[in-house]
Amino acid sequence: MAKKKSNKSSNIIAQNKRASFDYHLLETFEAGIALSGWEVKSLRMGKADLADSYVLMKNGEAYLLGAHIIPLDTASTHFVPDPTRTRKLLLHKKELARILAAITQKGQTCVCTQIYWKGHLVKARIALAQGKKAHDKRDSQKDKDWARQKQRIVRDNVKQ
């Protein structure tokens, strides 16, 4: 018998929900992350936070800054881990050029929205984003509230 694949939601390690609230996400990319061994072990335990993370372009390469990977118990190791170190993102040259052009010419920013497993590899979903104004944030909150209210109305009418 063939093995059943697990559900897709279990492969997500960390999400940056604040990014979709603060920015209009325009275009997404999938990038590999250059990690050390202790970081992979911590990610397997689900100890990551993307709250204040963003992508910085330097010398034609992309780096992930502000991502916090909490180290495991460090009492038995000789290596002192840095939980907020700068991690290199692995992208194709055309993707790097497109991101660099959008950041410099269009005034957009690049944020990390998700870290997930793809097979045995750790991938990051990064997005080109345009900042929202305060009224845009209120509009998106209003739309979410209305969608939730519609679900309640439908649910109550179906039960009766």
Question: Per-domain residue ranges for the chain?
Answer: 10-134
pLDDT at 93: 94
User: Residue 139: pLDDT above 90?
Assistant: no
What is the pLDDT, as a whole number, of residue 75?
54
Amino acid at 159: K
Domain 10-134 listed as CATH 2.40.280.10:
yes
- Six-digit token string for 121: 């590899």
Q: What pLDDT was estimated at residue 1?
A: 46
Cβ within 8 Å of residue 130, ≥6 positions away: 23, 24, 26, 107, 108, 109
Mean pLDDT across the stretch 113-129?
93
Long-range contacts of 90-99 (CB under 8 A, 24+ apart): 90/31, 90/32, 90/33, 90/34, 91/29, 91/31, 91/32, 91/62, 95/29, 95/31, 96/57, 96/60, 96/61, 96/62, 98/27, 99/29, 99/55, 99/57, 99/62, 99/126, 99/128
pLDDT tens-digit map of 61-117:
999 999 999 888 765 566 778 888 899 999 999 999 999 999 998 878 999 999 999
